[in-house]
Chains A and B, each alone.
Chain A
Amino acid sequence: MNIGTRKILDRSFTAVGIGSIIVMAVALMIVVVPIITNGIGAVFFTGTVEHRKMLFSEFKRGDSENLSSEVASSERYRAKVYQMLTGFEAELETMAPEQKAEYQAKYTQVRAALQALLGPLPGDPEPMLTRFKYGQTRWEKAEEKLHDLLYETRWDNSNPEVMAKEYFVSRAIGFQGTSLVKLFPYVKNNLESMLLPEFTCYWGFITDSSVDSHFFGGIWPEIQGTFFLAVGAMLFAFPLGVVAAVYFTEYARPGFLNSMLRSANSTLAGVPSIVFGMFGLAFFINTMKVSESKSVIAGALTLAIMILPTIIRAAEEAILAVPKTYREASLSLGSTKWNTIATVILPAALPGILTGGVISLGRAAGETAPIIFTAAVSVGSAIGLADVFSSPTPALSWNIYNLASEHEAAAQIRHVQYGMVLALVSIVLMLNLSAIVLRARISKKLKG
């Protein structure tokens, strides 16, 4: 090959390499940036007085004097709204029956929009669900609800060829000529005074339990559940995996059984995780009866089986990478085989073994399928350490899926979903980061 072609080849290969790295980076940004910006919104946001009311009565948090003065000031502006409502209700009574029916229907919608915005109105019965006890706790949501109050959403079906088009009609027009028409500009102009938005830093999102299936509160039960499951899986899989790797590399005699075991192990590493989930249900719960039904222990065992092949592989490779000379040196000093493994081989292989372990830990934290049937529930409170043998737990991976797809009001709690995603991503990243740091430290110690 002449030097010219070689240079062109080198250059084009460099270009391809850099290009693919850029594509990867862009793809990563597209995924990660919304996760971070939206996820951070779960903790840092513009909260309304309703948020502070909720915090005080559900979590006993906040300054009661401050809160009551805030409530008093917001009530002063809200009183005018209530007045307008009672005024209009009286006006309704004086109307002719069919006119009254027409206005009544529209008025019910207005009341509903106001309830969503400000919470229960005077005279409403005490709501059953906590989510209806408060108005909008987040300012950006309140603005959406304000829009709902001011405009009615209609669908344009006139052209059957295309999809129906959404358009808005001002509700104020519908109430032209009644006393209620003044309500709309009033609410619009005084919403801030009624809700008192204020920059809020809600750390409770991480440390609180959820209230009314994630309408309010935080994701601590999920974080704790993820932690229990991942650490529990590690407690089983790590020692077992290291022992198995030591057996494979140091004790197993080459032969049919050994190669069978090894290929079984490799195959296991490629089995889809949902299969492990089914296996966990069938084996740990139905056959072994480690618990009555779903439990943390069953989920941890299932995850352990799932990550075991990876840990074994990583540990095997790390052990095989230990220079033969260490083994010779140790044996020549009169060390037994076991002693050599424990005092020389394993310490030297530790960085590799740990890396495999932490990567598996991250995987155990993030997997959904294995815990669906064995450990996860959609809503639940944080469980104590003693309950791991009997109770299931919420967990980030499963709850992200559940909130995004199966929750009855998925669209209203997007910030919680993003918050959970960010929490999970941070946990896995932190684990991987700690693995890198740990590895670097141990390698440095080994290298001197």
Chain B
Amino acid sequence: MTTSSRPAYPAGTVITGKWHNNRFVIRRVLGQGGNGIVYLVHKAGYRNLYALKMGYDTLDLQSEINVLTSLQSQSRHQDGLKGSFKTPFLLEVDDFTGMGKEVPFYVMRYIEGNPIHHFIRRRGEEWVGITGLRLLEKLTGLHRLGFIFGDLKPDNVMVSDYGQVELIDYGGVSKIGRSVKQFTEWYDRGYWNAGSRSSDEAYDLFAFAVLMIQLLNEEGLKAACAQLLPQTRNCSELLNLIGRSPRLKPYAPWLRKAVQGEFPGSREALAAWKQQIYAPAISGRAPGKTPRWLINTFAFSVIMLGAAVYFVFFK
């Protein structure tokens, strides 16, 4: 549930922490959601950029901070973890007095990039394979720490210009075994009558599958949601969509398994995704016409080969 936008602090406002006395200078608003407003800031006297989230509710924000703290401390004890928590994400927690009110905030790493759906729209569907892979790696990392992401949706997946993936908004992160704290209809397994709202790895994989379907066939997904009444809504509608849509075809076997909760865990799902996108028939691209540049490259290689052969035999 998103609240209407609230007045934001203008650029140049200095936010001084009450407990640590650090000063952060606001540059601009990065975004706003149900739990708070996020600013791009730099520390006074330094140039490095950070993201600073001011919470609307002390308890909700603290709960989010607790999750981040616990993720960070746990990843310190786990080696070989591929994920964002080796380099700290949460940098400072403090309060400041703004407009006569105590406002809690935390400072985190600034994630540059665009939400995944914007990225894919701009850069093309052939990026789904690799960004999907990196997102799955992030999720697997979280799962290994004993948490699920929960509120997986395109707005919470940032992709850099070169396809690096980062998760933002840890407000939905829930301990495995507990109820899912925050979710969004489309991506919620419960909404599709496809399972519980308890946190398990399959919950994130389900949301991931819906996200992939959205990236590749948003119209189809919208139509499926609009037609169905809640009591008849179920994952067979998603399965139909997966079967029907040519653009989903390369990912169909994987998506089916995720929607039906058939992966034993995210590690297996990750391995299967890799296998699928690197399978020779697909090699990172949906089947269809071979793109021009590839034909050209191929033509070029044939010429080179011809030349080489010629060179060997007729020299």
User: Is B one of A's binding partners?
Assistant: no
Instruction: Please list the residues of chain A having a beta carbon within 8 angstroms of any beta carbon in chain B.
Output: none
Instruction: Please list the residues of chain B having a beta carbon within 8 angstroms of any beta carbon in chain A.
Output: none
